Amino acid sequence: MEKVSQSKKRLFFCLILIILILVIFELLTRILINFSPFLQNLNPPLMIEDPVLEHRHIPGIKTISVSPCGEYRVKVTVNQNGLRDRDIPYHKEKVEKRILILGDSFPEGIQVLSEETYPKVLESLIQEKESNHKYTVINAGVAGYSTIHEYLFLKTETIKYDPDIIILSFFMNDVSENHRFRNLFQFSSSGEPVKVKESTSKTKIIPLPLKLFLKKHSRLMVVISKLYYLLQGSRKSELTKDRIGNLQYDRFAINRIEQCNNYDEDWKFTLDLINRINEISKMHKSKFILLIIPLGAQVSPDEWEDVNKFEKLSYETMSDYPQIILNKFCSENNIHCIDLLPSFKNNHNEILYFHNNGHFNPKGHSKTAEIILDYLLINKLL
């Protein structure tokens, strides 16, 4: 009996020691985060896996987005429904008009303050112009979303906001994203996306509720998961010459002059998804607009200084073929289309993107909001 009692005591003290060590490392991690921008990813992560959408924002998460190069440091808050926006009820007021902006990391805009993102700048600009209604512009941008994700996000969640106008933000990597994610999703016999086949997370063995708690409250968990991903070989690597033109690796292959005509099947798949979003809009009597966001490398040789080196891009080798395809598609299908490239090129004296990160800076967001507002007013869509 005495031996058993001694064993229990040792086990108890071992558990206490482990807990103390974990608490100390947790505190050290939280302290170190405040001293080095290179430890930005040790702040609470924004994303968690999702059984339908593949990934989504963690509802109610608060974190800090920091550029390793010092381009920005921004507090980021996600509302209870998983949007980078204030809490917005599904039911709208009688005098309220709503614009829903779908997209990836561009409308999400964690490089700038929430009120500086183009959805929220647009909301402020509209409210100044139109006093007869209350206008709410909903930011439904989520980093890493392809057109597949955006279709499912609209159908399963964001259509609940009863939008009067739906704007789909289309960035130049969406074709490659659709190519990469296509095999990860289930589709109906008619080609409609249904849900992700299985979790793509490398830590899916951890129960989702436990993982959600740890991601929200433990920086040490973030450190361990980052080390795990690194050991698994998930670190982003520079694009090599042998992978240029391969949509699996080359995010902007469709923009390269020498490659842009090679992706008919992927374009067909992508345009079908856009049309499905258009059909959902029609079904709910919402107006639909496609917003085409160009690469910085398409706009000016002064944009994307660091991104161009990593992605093997240059202003001289960029094609506007994707814009031609999308504008033609919209014209043939009576879809409203806002192509930012012409206006951005005319605005070449101002830098609109972060050099290293590649996303819009505050001027880029502001310019985008102004262009959208002009289109809405000219076409009497408000």
pLDDT tens digits, residue range 59-114? 999 988 988 788 998 999 999 999 999 999 999 998 899 999 999 999 999 999 99
Q: What is the pLDDT of residue 236?
A: 55
* CA distance linking residue 10 with residue 13, whole number of Å: 5
Residue 29 φ then ψ, to 5°: -60, -45
Contact 361, 353 (CB under 8 A): yes
Kindly state the average pLDDT of the residues 127-155. 94
Question: Is the pLDDT higher at 241 or at 373?
Answer: 373
| pLDDT given for residue 279 in this prediction | 98
Q: What is the 3-state composition of the chain as percent helix, strand, coil, each rounded to the nearest 5? A: 45, 15, 35
* Pairing outcome for strands 185-187 and 193-196: antiparallel
One-letter amino acid identity for 199? S
HSE-CB for 274 with a 13 A CA cutoff: 29
Which residues in 204-233 are b (16+ Cβ under 10 Å) and which e? eeeeeeebbebbbebbbbbbebbeeeeeee
Q: Give the C-alpha separation, 297 to 164, whole Å.
A: 34
Q: Which residues contact 324 (CB under 8 A, 6 or more apart)?
A: none
pLDDT at 119 over 70: yes
Q: Which residue has the higher pLDDT, 135 or 217?
A: 135
Average pLDDT over residues 6-16: 78
Render pLDDT for 326-372 as a digit per residue (tens, 0 to 9): 999 999 999 999 999 999 999 878 999 999 999 999 999 999 999 99
In three-state secondary structure terms, 134 is strand
pLDDT above 90: percentage of residues in the chain = 62
Q: What is the pLDDT of residue 58?
A: 94
pLDDT at 306 over 80: yes
Angular region, 64: left φ>0, alpha ψ -120 to 50, beta rest: beta
Q: pLDDT category, 160, cuts 50, 70, 90? A: very high
Beta strand 54-57 with 62-66: parallel, antiparallel or unpaired? unpaired
Which of the residue ranges 95-109, 149-163, 294-308 would you say has the lowest mean pLDDT? 294-308
**Per-residue pLDDT at 23:** 77
Separation between Cα atoms, residue 88 and residue 81, nearest integer Å? 8
Contacting residues for 182 by C-beta, under 8 A, at least 6 apart: 148, 269
d(CA 64, CA 72): 10
Q: Is 233's pLDDT higher than 60?
A: no
Q: Residue 260 above 90 pLDDT?
A: no
Above 70 in pLDDT, residue 35?
A: no
CA separation for the pair 133, 156 (Å, rounded): 27
Instruction: Give the homologous superfamily in CATH for domain 96-201+238-378.
Output: SGNH hydrolase (3.40.50.1110)
> What pLDDT, on the 0 to 100 scale, is given for residue 42?
64
Would you mind telling me the total number of residues written for the chain in this entry? 382
At residue 25 the predicted structure's pLDDT band, cuts being 50, 70 and 90, is confident
